[in-house]
Structure 1
Amino acid sequence: MRYSTQIKPISYLKANAAQILQDLGEQREPLVITQNGEAKAVLQDVVSFEQTQETLALLKLLALSRQDVQAGRLSPAEEVHSRLRAKLAQLRTAADTSAK
């Protein structure tokens, strides 16, 4: 993607808002908006924005996991599986009790 073709002044945004929104949805490329010759904002379609947010969330989880590993905050997989199985059994028992 070449951002140089996706830079427009704010006056272009004001005059072509509907077309810009349509293009964003079809092309899925962000648009850099300038004001007084400086980049001030980036417009992006909502699907791409949501994907970016999900990607950032996953990257944050990976970073936090890496910190946990480096700090030695680990549990063996079998121990985690046992705790999850026990919790699931509790939930099933509670669900069975409330269904009666």
Structure 2
Amino acid sequence: MRYSAQVKPISYLKANAADILLNLAERREPLVITQNGEAKAVLQDVASFEQTQETLALLKLLAIGNQDVDAGKTKPARAVVERLRGKAADSR
């Protein structure tokens, strides 16, 4: 994705807000908004934003898992399964 094609000044946003929102939803590409020639904000549709947030949450879980592995905070799967089976049998 080339962000250079999706750069607009804030004046364009002010004058074309409704059209911009339609395009964001249809194209699902972010729009970089500039002010005084500098990039100041990025607009994106809600569905893309939610997808990004879910992806970041999964990546955070993976990073935490990797930290646990590095710190030796793991147990063999067999031991965990046996413990869970034991709890299931106790609750009957």
| TM-score, normalised via structure 1 length | 0.82
User: Structure 2, unaligned stretches of length 5 or more?
Assistant: none
Tell me, which stretches of 5 or more residues in structure 1 are unaligned? 94-100
The 1-side partners of 2:40 and 2:9 are apart by: 10
Confirm whether residue 16 of structure 1 aligns to residue 13 of structure 2: no
Q: Shift of residue 16 of structure 1?
A: 0.4
Q: Partner of 1:46 in structure 2? A: 46
Identity of aligned residues (%): 73
| Corresponding pairs, count | 91
Q: What whole-Å deviation, never above 9, does each CA across 1:3-43 have from its counterpart, x for those lacking one?
A: 11100000000000000000000000000000111000000
Cα deviation for residue 72 of structure 1 reads 0.3
Q: Describe how 1:1-100 pairs up with structure 2 within 5 A.
A: 1-85=1-85, 86=87, 90=91
SS at match of 2:73: coil
Output the TM-score relative to the length of structure 2: 0.89
Q: CA RMSD in A?
A: 1.7
